[in-house]
Chain A
Amino acid sequence: MSEEELLTLEEVVLVCAVTPEWLRDRVEEGLVPAAPEWRFSAVAVRRVRRMHALERDFDAAPELAALMADLLEELDALRARLG
């Protein structure tokens, strides 16, 4: 339990219901952070879900969905500080 559990691309595709191409494109564009060897943290998984929902629900461009995800992550961090 000492190491953080990281997911493979295939696992993220399954738990987030996205296609491998969708995810690969966004990692290569730098919109979704990936650890070396295409590993994904819990933070990345939440980001993928958010971006995918935004793109799907609002036909948002990937860059715009990523920008929204940035803002929502900042909001999460600030809300956590409020306790």
Chain B
Amino acid sequence: VEFKDYYQTLGVAREAAADEIRKAFRKLARKYHPDVSKEPDAEARMKEVNEAYAVLSDPEKRAAYDQLGRNYRPGEEFRPPPDWDAGFEFSHHDFQGADFSDFFAELFGRMGARGHGQDHYAKVLLDAEDAFLGAARQIALRVPTVDAGGRVTLETRTLNVKIPAGVRAGQLIRLAGQGAAGAGKPGDLLLEVHFKPHARYRVDGRDLHVDLPVAPWEAALGAVLRVNVPGGALNVRIPAGAQSGRVLRVRGKGIPAAPPGDLLLTLRVILPSADTPKARELYEQMARDLAFDPRATP
């Protein structure tokens, strides 16, 4: 694995006091906070910053890292000498489940074999169509694995996962026995379902929101329209006098969960452009013959 310079990651000197390290970390934690950061690689940077801080903020880990890191440069091939960590006592619970680098796992990963496997937690991104038809996905998990020497390495494991039809946003899917293997029975894999943004569809819980473009006469006179949604086409009646922005609810035609959600169609009245003599004539006629003022206060 490559040697990582945690001091460089946080932008502090090797002899920095604990207080300086904490200040540097907080500045970076704010800059790369994944929920608000505009930096393109915020999530990856935040992981590095967290990892560096996990080591440098802990006096024992920092001392061990300092002793070992004296002769290495960042990026250099690194192999810890056997028993390098003798004499250091680490408490491991504080980074349990954290997604740190191979370098970190190599250094501090002597967690020993656990009694049972850990539940693993991952996000899965689906298209709206997948909620209707079900889907197969490949998911790459970084799993801590204990080797013969009792050392822990992070292994990438690829899982083929079947997503059943009827999943909803924010739902957890449990796959028994697919989590991290331990000394005993493997843990479960928990997948949190998220939906990709889509130009036409938006999933909200069990409900499916769809924009429905309509012609002015369809909205004004009413119409029965054939609408394509991920579950298949269906006929929808537009009531006469419907305005743009009106939401029509079709019960039971949302995500086919149990009970199924609703389909919510937001009408968007699209005006034909007046780019032919005929179209111009029709608009001009309406302007003449209709007493219509859209800004008139009722």
Chain A residues within 8 Å of B, Cβ to Cβ:
1-2, 4-7, 11, 14-17, 19, 41-43, 45-46, 50, 57-58, 72, 75, 80-83
* Sampled A-B contacts (27; CB under 8 Å): A1-B164, A4-B172, A5-B171, A5-B173, A5-B174, A5-B190, A11-B119, A14-B97, A14-B187, A15-B97, A15-B119, A17-B95, A17-B96, A17-B97, A17-B98, A42-B170, A42-B171, A43-B170, A45-B121, A50-B35, A57-B26, A58-B26, A58-B29, A80-B204, A82-B197, A83-B197, A83-B202
Contact A15 B121 (CB under 8 A): yes
The complex places the Cα of A41 from the Cα of B98 at a distance, in Å, of 21
Closest to A10 in B: B119
Contact B192 A45 (CB under 8 A): yes
Contact B164 A42 (CB under 8 A): no
Contact A15 B35 (CB under 8 A): no
A32 → B minimal CB distance (Å): 16
A1 → B minimal CB distance (Å): 5
A65 → B minimal CB distance (Å): 12
B193 → A minimal CB distance (Å): 8
B218 → A minimal CB distance (Å): 24
A26 → B minimal CB distance (Å): 18
The complex places the Cα of A43 from the Cα of B29 at a distance, in Å, of 23
Contacts of A16 in B (CB 8 A): 97
Contact partner, B202, options A5, A15, A45, A80, Cβ 8 Å: A80
B178 → A minimal CB distance (Å): 14
Q: A2-B257, A4-B172 are in contact. Are A81 and B202 (CB under 8 A)?
A: yes
Residues in B264-297 with C-beta less than 8 Å from chain A: none
The complex places the Cα of A16 from the Cα of B198 at a distance, in Å, of 30
Against A, the Cβ 8 Å flags (1 = close, 0 = not) of B213-251 are: 000000000000000000000000000000000000000
Contacts of B35 in A (CB 8 A): 50, 72, 75
Closest to A82 in B: B197
B25, CB-defined interface residue at 8 Å: yes
The complex places the Cα of A43 from the Cα of B185 at a distance, in Å, of 28
Closest to B118 in A: A14
Contacts of A45 in B (CB 8 A): 121, 172, 192
The complex places the Cα of A6 from the Cα of B192 at a distance, in Å, of 11
The complex places the Cα of A42 from the Cα of B167 at a distance, in Å, of 13
A71 → B minimal CB distance (Å): 9
Q: A14-B97, A83-B197 are in contact. Are A7 and B171 (CB under 8 A)?
A: no
The winner among B26, B35, B94 for most chain A CB atoms within 10 A is B35
Residues in B3-33 with C-beta less than 8 Å from chain A: 25-26, 29-30
Q: A15-B121, A83-B197, A83-B198 are in contact. Are A1 and B167 (CB under 8 A)?
A: yes
The complex places the Cα of A72 from the Cα of B168 at a distance, in Å, of 21
